[in-house]
Structures are given as structure tokens and as C-alpha cells.
Amino acid sequence: MEKRSKGVNIKNLSKIYIGANNNEFKAVDNISVDIRPGEFVTLLGPSGCGKTTTLRMIAGFEIPTMGEIYLGGDKINDLPPDKRDSAMVFQSYALFPHYNIYDNIAYGLKLKKISKDEIKNKVDNIIELVGLKGMENRYPNQLSGGQQQRVALARALVMEPGVLLFDEPLSNLDAKLRVYMRTEIRKIQQKVGITAVYVTHDQSEAMSLSDRIIIMNKGIIEQVGTPKEVYYTPKTEFVADFIGTANFISATIDSVENGIAEVSICGKKMSIPYKGDKKGGSACKLVLRPEAVEIGREGFLEGKVTLSTFMGSYQDYVVKVGEEEVKIQHNNPQVKEIFNEGENVKVSFSPYNVHII
């Protein structure tokens, strides 16, 4: 397949829906983001945050109220979906039930003026790529959900679009197949080098697939970053909470100097690397992942175990430290190391594992 992936540039994009009482509802609120050619980017956020509306505006199924969308540098706002150099993979697969697999995949190419031989060549290549060889003559109802999703993917890929758009494509599959298919999608996307924009509300799907994740909330972008960036350096409490589990410990910044913040936490002091713009005297939250907190007889802060749950490969704790409830995930516990509810313990963490917001 020819490599011709394109970048997507979104500038000040908004979508306002008008409700029954003429009420305006801002589903997407002035978002801007640049997606690089060949990049796999996920729109992630809770239900109703505006991710599908954003994707549908890129595809041309929704008209933006304001703002611009560029594909490969060309403004595409005014183009109908079939004139845009994009292809969408839907949650519902949207296959033609009365066409066999070959014809489903070839459908879009047949609408173009391409020779039969060329169509066959392209379709055969894609069938091979998505692992459907030998199934060309079957009909969609003779395929499993995962296989139907491959057909939907092949049908989009065969058009060699500048960008591939995915609208929660794995939602109809069972949990195990979802995990398998997401690695397949990633492998195929990387092999072809195509730009992909993928909508999901499943954070593990977003983490495992994406070069970068766009985290949306109530129509705005909270953060754009690599999976590691959004996990380790969340910009907001919303991001930290939406991606994995996080503790938010109240603290005070005493001073900031040379990239180090002196912070008071529950009556103790800690020097923490800090690149933000808070000044000495400001209140802050320390974002601390449960797996980055240690529990033991010796340590930094005193606490009492209020919950201790055996999870097999790890122990889940909640420890009350002053006014804070600190969630801790302690890996591979030995039976003798497990602390029980009511026990006095110490909790510790490295300043390098703390992120100040």
C-alpha cells in the first residue's frame, strides 16, 4: 500500500447543538490540536465529552459551528465526507450483508475509475494484511465479530486514505478479543504508516494504542500527551483521575528555587522537582500513584491502615495519614509483610514519583 498519510490540524473548533427549547449546548468548545502524519492519536474522555462529535467533524458528518479543520494542509471544512481523504471504521462495522467479504472490501474502489486488475491487486493485498485470506467468499453473517471488524478495517484501508478514523471500533467485542484486536489494529497501522484518529472511553485501549492521547472533558481538551506524559505528569486532577488511580494529597509549597519545590505535607517537609509556575505560599495537590507509595514499619509519614485487601499479585491498602486517605498498591506481598486493618504503619514515596498540580 502506498504511504501517503496526512496530518490533521484542528484550529479553534466548536460545535454547538441547539436543543428543543432553543437552548445552546456546546458539545465541542474551541479546541485546537495538531496531529502529525503517521501518528496514532486517541480522543479519550467520559461519555458526552465531545470526542465522537470531534471525530465526526473531521469525517464531515457534522458541520463545525466555528473553527477550521485541515487535512494534509488543505482546509476541508466545506468538503462533503466522500470528498475528504479520510475513511471511518464504525463501531457497528456497517458491512453490506448481501455482499461477500471481497465485494465489501472492493466496494469503494469500484466507485472509482480503477481497472479490475488493480482493484483485485489492492483488495488481495489488504485481505492478506488484515489476516482474512481464504474468507473472501464468505458473507458477513458467516464471520465472528472480530473478523467482521477486520473487514471494516480492510474496507477503510483499501481506499488508502490520508487519515483513518475509528469510532469506538471494538465496543461490540468481548473483553479478550478487544485486547487482541487492539494490538492487531496498532500493528497494521504501524505497518502501513497511516495517520489514525481513534475515539474511545477505555483508558487502557488509549494507553496501549496511542502515540499521543487527547483527553477531553466537557467539550474542551484537558491535556494532549504521550501515554507516559498523561500518566506521570497529568496537568489537571481530572486527567490524573481519569487515567488510572491517583492520590491527591493536599500540601503547601513553601518555596520554589532552581526547579525544586520545598513542600510541607502532613507536618513533614520534602524537596520535589517542579517545573510549574506556583509560588511559595501556595496550596497544591501532590499526585501520587498507588504503586509509587511504600508501606512499612519505617518511613516518612505516620498512618493507620483502614483497608487491606489481598488481590493475589498485590495488596491494596488505604492508609489514613492525617486527614488524607492514601491508596497504596503493594506488589508481590509476602504473607508476613501484609499489614492488617487498624495497624500503625509508615508510608513513604520518592520525590521523583510525585507530580505537583
| Candidate residues 52, 104, 203, 233; the one interacting with ligand ATP per rule CB under 6 A | 52
Distances, alpha carbon 305 to alpha carbons 119, 267, 269, 278, 320, in Å: 66, 19, 22, 32, 6
Say which residues have a Cβ less than 8 Å from residue 206's Cβ, sequence separation at least 6.
42, 44, 198, 200, 213, 227
Taking the least distance from each CB to ligand ATP, the nearer of 65 and 77 is 65
| Backbone phi, psi, residue 8, to 5° | -120, 125
Residue 62 Cβ vs ligand ATP, minimum distance, rounded to whole Å: 8
| Candidate residues 14, 42, 53, 217; the one interacting with ligand ATP per rule CB under 6 A | 53
| Candidate residues 3, 12, 17, 121; the one interacting with ligand ATP per rule CB under 6 A | 17
Residue nearest to ligand ATP (CB): 52
Residue pair 63/260 in contact (Cβ under 8 Å)? The answer is: no
| Candidate residues 25, 180, 310, 352; the one interacting with ligand ATP per rule CB under 6 A | 25
Euclidean distance between CA atoms 87 and 170, whole angstroms: 17
> Which range in 44-52, 108-116, 229-237, 267-275 contacts ligand ATP by CB under 6 A?
44-52
> Which range in 47-55, 183-191, 300-308, 346-354 contacts ligand ATP by CB under 6 A?
47-55
> Which range in 46-54, 68-76, 86-94, 243-251 contacts ligand ATP by CB under 6 A?
46-54
Q: 175-234: which residues touch ligand ATP (CB under 6 A)?
A: 201
- Other residues' Cβ atoms within 10 Å of the Cβ of residue 117: 8
Is residue 155 involved in binding ligand ATP (CB under 6 A)? no
Euclidean distance between CA atoms 5 and 161, whole angstroms: 7
Euclidean distance between CA atoms 141 and 148, whole angstroms: 9
- Helix then strand count (H, E) for the chain reads 8, 20
Is residue 51 involved in binding ligand ATP (CB under 6 A)? yes
Taking the least distance from each CB to ligand ATP, the nearer of 22 and 47 is 47
Q: Residue numbers of the site for ligand ATP (CB under 6 A)? A: 17, 25, 27, 45, 47-53, 201
